[in-house]
Structure 1
């Protein structure tokens, strides 16, 4: 069976001063993206987590939701894969196969990219198996651009983007931030918040 696989981990988790609190926050965020998953994302070892979804768009949406929910305090990176997934042990749920190999290759590339100055803000990468599934180049072009924009935001813009993605109006967000609606609109335009919301919606529709 072909599935969209997701592997994620926390960037720099060993530097966390309270790893128990980090684990609690990550676990809560993972529960929020369990809906619609074939295998709800769960922590496997340390701060790595894995899950699978029926569509690539679903896995991309889950990764984005997790990143947005945890930022800026917890930085996460992801590998999204597409391919055949084999269940090796139905009792324990152990899986293998090209779908998982693709996700592993993707997150390894993400980690390597972060070491390059021009790609330091990349956090989500997609790979597929044997050219099945959505085209790698097109999906990753959108992901890299969004990652760069998101990685450049300050805390207020992250909160506003989180609100926009949740369907809140700019007037409501202005009240939350105790600033004027025009200030929210100006920030959304300057930082590309509306654009990121539109791109995220489009990515979630990928089949």
Structure 2
């Protein structure tokens, strides 16, 4: 089983400099992979404003994508469709094309989250779908994961860029004192920013996602 991820840039047509946005995304991918190297295939641009990547487990995908969103600058945001299932790569000459139920599910998932943004949940950025042939018994687990993702996206989408930076640091275990020094502000200001943004829940959720990897 693989977790296939399709990402695209939100409102990409309205970006003043699409090339610069793609460069910032690429730099963010590299940063997150240095800090939390769980991606089997880190997100990479494939065509237009679309990126694709793969993870071995859902918890690894969700933890990596959380850090990725937290690390993005204010003027660039992405949404993500995650597909759980089998990958059947197709070899063509000197390259391989990702294919299979996991990728079909990822496509359905990103289309679903885009619809959510237009209606019930404007700040939604993540959705997970089960690929064809996967055990139906995982439906409850995916429902819980999607409920978590919706709540997490609501908090992260409402954060300022500084709040996201601070939350990113706390997810990695950095002290508030260290973060205050990096930002050039007081520790009290760090604490107040994190509290106002609801960061404690995000950090605790990240800890839960990564607990197995640390065991």
Q: Scaled by the length of structure 2, what TM-score is found? A: 0.85
Q: Is 1:94–2:58 an aligned residue pair?
A: no
SS in 2 for 1:168: coil
Indicate if the aligned counterparts of 2:71 and 2:165 stay in contact, CA closer than 8 A.
Answer: no
Deviates more, 1:138-147 or 1:54-63: 54-63
Structure 1 residues 103-124: Cα deviation after superposition (integer angstroms, max 9, x where no partner) = 11111111111112x4010011
SS in 2 for 1:119: coil
Q: Is the 8 Å Cα contact of residues 38 and 64 (structure 2) preserved in structure 1?
A: no
Contact 2:8 2:51 in 1 (8 A): yes
When residues 132 and 206 of structure 1 are mapped into structure 2, their CA distance, relative to the original with a 3 A threshold, is farther
**TM-score with structure 1 length normalisation?**
0.88
Q: Distance in 1 between matches of 2:137 and 2:81?
A: 16
Shift of residue 125, structure 1, vs aligned partner: 1.1
Aligned pairs for 1:59-98 within 5 A: 59-89=61-91, 91-98=94-101
In structure 1, C-alpha distance between the alignment counterparts of 2:20 and 2:13, rounded to whole Å: 13
Q: Paired residue for 2:112?
A: 109
1:41-56 mapped onto 2 (5 Å cutoff): 41-56=43-58
Count of residue pairs brought into register by the alignment: 205
Q: Deviations over 1:84-107 (max 9, x none)?
A: 110121641112111111111111
> Where does the alignment leave 5 or more consecutive residues of structure 1 unmatched?
none
